[in-house]
A and B are shown apart, each in its own frame.
Chain A
Amino acid sequence: MDSNLYGVMAEFDTPTAVVDAANKVRLAGYTKTDAFSPFPLHEIDEALGIRRSILPFLVFCGGVIGMLSGFALQIFIHYIDYPLNIGGRPYLSWPSFIPPAYELTILFGGFTAVFGMLFLNGLPRPYHPVFNVPRFALASREKFFLLIEAADDKYNYDETTSFMRSLGPQEVFDVPE
């Protein structure tokens, strides 16, 4: 047994097989797991027990912060720092502040969505051990992969490998660190 293993990975032929296997992996108590598929598999989230992302909540907060900064910026400029009479309107013309505040809501919300997604995914990540398995390249074409990390509490090389074999995969690989 190699002490420098990142985890154990199994290859499956069909999406149903990988979802079934993922269900069994979750029921066996593994938590540090991942699945790889050439196309989105909505069922896999539930099968692996992946909780819903907090990203929507972050985007909402980003949007609210954007809106508040939009108003704050304009109130500071037009009301506090440099009050200027524009067409006889009051300095605190909040209706006209709405379009820029709205734009900043979208901007901050959009930035939070993109950068929050990258951050929560741990991207950018130039190196990932799963690519040490040559056949893993097929994950972007026609094969489905299921991974149990060595960092998992329940992980034990012999047990985990034989457990993976019992799930009926095409093949089981060691994933070197």
Chain B
Amino acid sequence: MADTGNFQAPADLNRWRTIALGVGGVALIIWAIGTYLNPEQGLRSWLLGFVLFGGIGLGCLGVLLLGYLTGGAWAVATRRAAEAGSRTLPVIFVLFLPLAFGIKRLYEWTHIPATEHIMQHRGWFMTPESWILRSAVYFILFGVMVFLLNKWGREQDKTNNYEDAEKFLGRATAFSGPAMVFYSLLVTFASVDWVMTLDPHYFSTIWGLLFVAGWALSAFCFLVAVLAFLSDKAPMDRVLGRRHFHDLGKLILALVMIWAYFNFSQFLIIWSGNIPEETVWFQARMYHGWGYVAWALILFHFAAPFLVLLLQDLKRRAKTLAKVAVFILVMRWLDMLWLISPTPRISTHGATLGFIDSFSWMDIVAPIAVGGIWLWYFSTQLMKRPLVPVMDPFLEKAIEHGHGH
């Protein structure tokens, strides 16, 4: 069997943890000052950071479920890191609170009278109270999944025989099937509530899938970056091989394609339909500077990563793949900016703004604040448990797979 020795995270993670908290803290103070002066922009930028890093955390939960469902060496190699990502849920909830408290300064629909045509048929569903109640339900249900999967993972590590270890693996696998269905539904509802309602006139049925795939992409990119960082240090240098990164690179390639596919489906249907109430959403995102951002997304969120990730050798080199992954994460930020920033604002009485007028320095500072705090909490969680499922019946096979041809 595999070496069940010490699989604790390396000590120099501690340094990075402190740096993340320091940078996040400073950015948080700067953001707080900016938000005091311009609450609406501050909250929008916070939402951007929240969707970006909260998306990584929730995406890690999705990756965890996917890993249990499909099996495979990549699932075993990433499991404990993905679990640590999913355990950031409490901090994601704390980072959500500014949005809940600032709901009336962030969402234009909270100011639209209930008698308006657009609000008439939405009734109680589109009230701040039910919005907050729904968000609480999302966090509780995500929390149940995170709690159970992490509980079984911890209990599996503590067993001393393979029969028990297999039992916990089986339990998590059986749970992951139905949980995946609920996870996708929850992400759909959450992304609609948190992001799509920014523009109360827009509706898209593929919206939820855009976030399911987008958050999974974020999570895989983040996990690759973390594993590449750990790959040349003890203990993970004994575990991770070039084929693990090859497999993860293939998954990132697939998700990059799915992201483009979903986005294009949405665009093509609305473009072909050419109905004013739908096209106005794209109009705000295709003109007045936002068109350049849209082209940048096509070229650098899809085309460039797609072409680069076709190369087999690149996917097998951990550090190079990690660079591509971090680049995609930056593009995820741009994608979220493109979704959030051009939406109608309260301060403009529902008008949309061009790129120059709507882009704010807080769109950079707030994600750094959210990201710093989130990364600090993630590192804390990562250091708490062994980095690999030490008792997993497939661990030895998974390690062997990584070093094969």
Contacts and interface: CB of A to CB of B under 8 A. Distances in A.
B268 A95 contact: yes
B274 A45 contact: no
Contacts of A45: 405
A60 B268 contact: no
Nearest to B313: A52
Nearest to B405: A42
Interface string B147-176: 000000000000000000000000000000
Interface residues of A, number: 13
Given A42-B404, A42-B405, A89-B274, A96 B310 contact: no
Interface residues of B, number: 10
Across chains A and B, which 10 residue pairs bring their CB atoms closest together, nearest first? A42-B405, A95-B271, A95-B268, A96-B272, A43-B405, A42-B404, A98-B264, A60-B310, A96-B268, A87-B274
Interface in A18-45: 42-43, 45
A129 interface: no
B308 to A, nearest CB: 13
A95 B272 CA distance: 9
Given A60-B310, A89-B274, A99 B268 contact: yes
B307 to A, nearest CB: 9
A168 interface: no
B283 to A, nearest CB: 15
Contacts of A87: 272, 274
Contacts of B271: 95-96
6 contacts: A42-B405, A43-B405, A46-B405, A95-B268, A95-B271, A99-B268
A83 interface: no
A98 B405 contact: no
A98 B302 CA distance: 15
B267 interface: yes
B127 interface: no
Interface string B362-405: 00000000000000000000000000000000000000000011
B14 interface: no
